[in-house]
Structure formats: structure tokens, C-alpha cells
Amino acid sequence: MACYVIADLHLDVTRPELTQALRTFVASLKPQDELYIIGDLFNFFVGLDPEDSAQQAVAEIMGAARQNGVACYFIHGNRDFLITKREAWQLNLTLLPKLYYLERYGQRLLLTHGDIFCSNDLKYQAYQRKVNNKLLQWLFRRLPLSRRRAIGAKIREQSAGSARYQSEIYGVVTQTVAQYCHDVDLLVHGHIHVLGTYHDEVPGLKARYVLGAWGQNLSYFKLDEQGAALYEQPL
């Protein structure tokens, strides 16, 4: 059995090659493997959409994986935070808390999307507090699907992109990492789209693994009896 973690696929109907890469990757997993998708599986999610081929493909891919004995889990990202427990289940995924702690092969892990660590970006953190307001989400979900699609498209256009999080000002703040990593050996996250491994940043944390965004390449984290490592390969 192995534990796999991926993030920042940003699937949508305009990038079928990303969906095909996910299909190939998941098909390579073996029975009793675990797959954790830690946010931004979709480029944006405004509800289940019967016309969205990317959503349909995810449900099919994850359904086949479950039938093959692969456990498939999902953690919210900043682009698909609206996915409910029921919607995740319809996509053949099990929704987990935003911060998910687990122990595998003698290692204590924390899996999370990673935006919580960019605590110096006050504008983004304020936006997150707003969009995670349950009342606003309830009201948004009662808009017609066409209106929700239009709002989602506008937000995508206004997105600053990943380069914002590559700077010291807006990137991962080590002190914030330390707040969530008590008794944690390995931290795995995405969000900033810059593949990398960082050792001994905070007391007790052996390594922080950062997943890259899928595009020309795909990346994943793997933990098994041989140890933990990041991998990247052409799409």
C-alpha cells in the first residue's frame, strides 16, 4: 500500500489533456493505495454541472478507482471550496477537513491545500473569510447555475495567479507553518504552484513537501515503506 497526494490540477472543459493525465495517473494506482487530492482539483467549482465534462470524468475516474480498491479523498482548495460532502460523494470522493492529520509508516503527516500558510497576504485572507461565510454560500447556491458560472468566470479572470505566492511578501510564512505542525513529521501542501522540498524549517518538522500545479508536467507526493518523496513527470 502507498499513500499518494496531488493538488492544483485545475481541471476544466478547456483542458482535456489534464483530465486524461488524471485518468492515466489514477489507473496506475494499486488496490489498497490511498489517493488524497488536496485542493484545486477543478479550476473553479460553482456546483455540480451536468454539462461539465471535467466533473463527469472525475466521477468516472474516481468511481473506477474505488472499484479497484483505491481509497479516494478530497480536501478543499481555494477554487473548489464550495464542494459539499454530498457533492464530493457524487464525484466518488470522500471529503476531509481542511487540515487533515494522519499517520502512515511511522510518520505523522499534515495534508492541507496550503493557502492558510500565506498569512501575510491580508487581502487574500480577507477574501477567504468572506467567501467561506455560510450565509453567503447559501445565497450563492440559490442563484441559477448560469449566473453562478458567470460569477466563477469573472473571479478566474481577476485571479492574480501563482506568481503572487512566489514572493517573500505573499508566500508561505514559516511562523504560520509552525502553528499547525506540532507533533507533525511531514507537511504536504500545494497552492503556491512551486514544486519543492524544505527540511527542518520549524522545530520537529522533518520536511515540508510542496506540490506543483499540473500543466506541462504533473507532480505527486508518495509515501510508502521505502520513504517519502516528491515526483514530477511530463504530462
Note the pLDDT of residue 86: 96
- The answer to whether the beta carbons of residues 46 and 145 sit under 8 Å apart is yes
Note the pLDDT of residue 162: 47
| Sheet with strand 71-74: strands edge to edge | 94-95, 71-74, 34-37, 3-6, 217-224, 227-234
Look up residue 113 and give its three cell numbers: 491545500
Domains in the chain and their CATH numbers?
Answer: 3-234 (3.60.21.10)
3-state secondary structure labels for all residues of the chain:
CCEEEECCCCECCCCHHHHHHHHHHHHCCCCCCEEEECCCCECCCCCCCCCCHHHHHHHHHHHHHHHCCCEEEECCCCCCCCCCHHHHHHCCCEECCCCEEEEECCEEEEECCCHHHCCCCHHHHHHHHHHCCHHHHHHHHCCCHHHHHHHHHHHHHHCCCHHHHHCCCCCCCHHHHHHHCCCCCEEEECCCCCCEEEECCCCCCCEEEECCCCCCEEEEEEEECCEEEEEEEEC
pLDDT (tens digit per residue) in 10-51: 999 999 999 999 999 999 999 999 999 999 999 989 999 988
pLDDT (tens digit per residue) in 37-92: 999 999 989 999 988 999 999 999 999 999 999 999 999 999 999 999 999 999 99
Strand-pair partners of 22: none
Average pLDDT, the chain: 91
* Cβ neighbours of residue 214 closer than 8 Å, sequence gap 6 or more: 6, 8, 9, 10, 18, 21, 235
Residue 112 has pLDDT above 60, yes or no: yes
Look up residue 68 and give its three cell numbers: 479497484
Q: What are the C-alpha distances in Å from 232 to residues 77, 214, 220?
A: 21, 10, 7
Pick 167 or 76 by higher pLDDT.
76
Mean pLDDT of 114-126: 88
